[in-house]
Amino acid sequence: MDEGPQQSDLYRHFIDLLNGMLQIPLDFPGTLYRKARIGSNQIRGILQTVIDKRRVDLASGSASPQQDLLSFLLCNNDGSGNALRDDEIKDNIMLLLMAGHDTSVVTVTLILRYLALNPDCYQKVLQEQMEIKREKEGTQVGVLQWDDLQKMKYTWRAVQETLRLYPPAGGTWRKAIVDISFAGFSIPTGWKLFWTTRSTHKNAEYFEDPENFDPSRFEENGTVPYTFVPFGGGPQMCPGNEFARMVILVFIHSIVKNVKWDLVNVNEKIIANPIPTLANGLPIRLTSLY
């Protein structure tokens, strides 16, 4: 979608949806929940316009079936030979918008904070990223490639430690498919359970000194399976985990090789709204490296 009024409207309604998505369902004027419902309906109207236009473009050949997610959803069936309904297409797009926007945003914000508060870690990230920058300058391909991301080993460990301390998703729901006995509680079949990421990540049984920022804990063999779960685990693991990794590492490379930053307020609070958020948006001072 090109920049312009349509994109601005989509973003504005999207923020209303995020702010009210997990609020108490009080559906009357002025509540965040009502604003979220209105925002959701407005987003669906905008997406319907985009879907209608893309369908015409696909029919005329001016758009490709492999162009992007929208084309893929319009050109493929549900596995039973049935074309996806427009509402199903809009549901898929909205799900990915919500799952992929604030989660990456809060992670890159928090890692900037932790690198500023831990100069030794920052220097290791800087050294790693500048080495990759020097290697790129000696080649004809100036932009990052997939192989470059695999070299960002310490940087990714710093990201993992940020995700451990403040996972964007606090947990998720599961349904008991058999009777379960756990920690002295009996959970009948059909009951809903909410497993929490944060309680697992802060468990001293799995992570020594769990409140301390220490990327080295992810070296060598890493962690015990199913103790580090910012993306979930098993067959229900977030399908966007590699995409998130790419976005975060590219962002860090882009900023670290160009500027240094200092926190305006080193004591700024982290609040949950419902995902971890810096109370004032993490204001920083930027200094060019050149």
Mean pLDDT over 96-106 rounds to 83
Bridge partners of 174?
193
**Pairing status of strand 276-278 against strand 180-182:** unpaired
Residue 187 has pLDDT above 70, yes or no: yes
Residue 13 has pLDDT above 90, yes or no: yes
Mean pLDDT over 155-166 rounds to 97
Q: Which residue has the tokens 């002025």?
A: 30
Q: Hey, what are 101's tokens? A: 């926007």
249 in Cβ contact with 156 (< 8 Å): yes
Q: Hey, what are 238's tokens? A: 């977030």
| Type of residue numbered 263 | L
153 in Cβ contact with 128 (< 8 Å): yes
> Class assignment of domain 102-170+197-288?
mainly alpha
User: Which pLDDT band, with edges at 50, 70 and 90, does 265 fall under?
Assistant: very high
**In whole angstroms, what separates CA 255 from the centre of its chain?**
18
Q: How far apart are CA 249 and CA 247, in angstroms?
A: 6
End-to-end alpha carbon distance in the chain: 35
- For residue 141, the model assigns a pLDDT of 65
| CA angle centred on 269, ends 214 and 243, rounded to 5° | 55
Q: How far apart are CA 35 and CA 70, in angstroms?
A: 26
Q: Hey, what are 41's tokens? A: 């309906």
| Type of residue numbered 130 | M
DSSP 83: B
User: Which pLDDT band, with edges at 50, 70 and 90, does 59 fall under?
Assistant: very high
pLDDT in tens, 192-238: 988 889 999 999 999 999 999 999 999 977 788 899 999 988 888 88
Mean pLDDT over 117-133 rounds to 96
User: Which pLDDT band, with edges at 50, 70 and 90, does 140 fall under?
Assistant: low
Q: Write out the residue limits of the CATH 1.10.630.10 domain(s) in the chain.
A: 102-170+197-288
- For residue 125, the model assigns a pLDDT of 98
Residue 16 has pLDDT above 80, yes or no: yes
148 in Cβ contact with 279 (< 8 Å): no
pLDDT in tens, 141-158: 668 899 999 999 999 999
Q: How far apart are CA 241 and CA 221, in angstroms?
A: 20
Of the candidates 87, 5, 9, 1, which has an alpha carbon nearest to the alpha carbon of residue 43? 9
pLDDT > 90: percent of the chain = 64
- For residue 160, the model assigns a pLDDT of 97
